[in-house]
Amino acid sequence: MPDGPEKTILGPDQKAWLLKTLDESKATFKLVFSPTPIVGPDRNNKHDNHANDNFVYEGNELRERFGRIPGLITFCGDRHWQYASVDRATGLWEFGCGPGSEVHQLGWKPGDVRDQHQFLRVAGGFLSGQVKARESGARLTLRHHTINGQPVSEFVFPTK
């Protein structure tokens, strides 16, 4: 199917519901979990997600809408490497948790750092998050860890 407004991964009803509920949410942080990347990047030979050239229209639409919603961060589960990326056009952040073991890291070359990457690690581990209330507002800290729990990255939101 040619790329355009009718081609969708989410489906029109699910996408409308998601965007409506995110727009109406009063939560400080809105965390959207996806099995596939929305910001990415992903490998050039992949054609099944919003971060590649097969779903450009819907990917751009989601990044644009998500980028306008304060406190929204996307998370990707099905990547075999750890990453934190920012879409330069919209400011949307995305975190990839990586594989849970050192046996399954694959699919990305360790030195292939792209413009979106704020962090890249082709290894196993996990992602943790912690919210702390403060007088000036809540703070969310996200960390990538090795499989043994050693922190290897840290990002604090809001960033400003």
Q: How do residues 63-87 score in pLDDT, each as one tens digit?
A: 999 999 999 999 998 788 999 999 9
Strands (E) across 42-138 are located at 72-76, 82-86, 93-96, 117-121, 125-132
CATH of domain 12-122: 3.60.21.10
Is residue 46 over pLDDT 90? no
Structure confidence at residue 109 as a pLDDT band (50, 70, 90)? confident
Structure confidence at residue 103 as a pLDDT band (50, 70, 90)? confident
Is residue 2 over pLDDT 80? yes
Q: What is the value of pTM for the model shown?
A: 0.94
CA distance 64 to 139: 24
The domain ranges of the chain are 12-122
Query: Nearest 10 degrees: CA dihedral of 153, 84, 127, 45?
Result: -130
Residues 96, 135 contacting (CB under 8 angstroms) = no
Mean pLDDT of 129-158: 96
Structure confidence at residue 132 as a pLDDT band (50, 70, 90)? very high
CA distance 29 to 112: 30
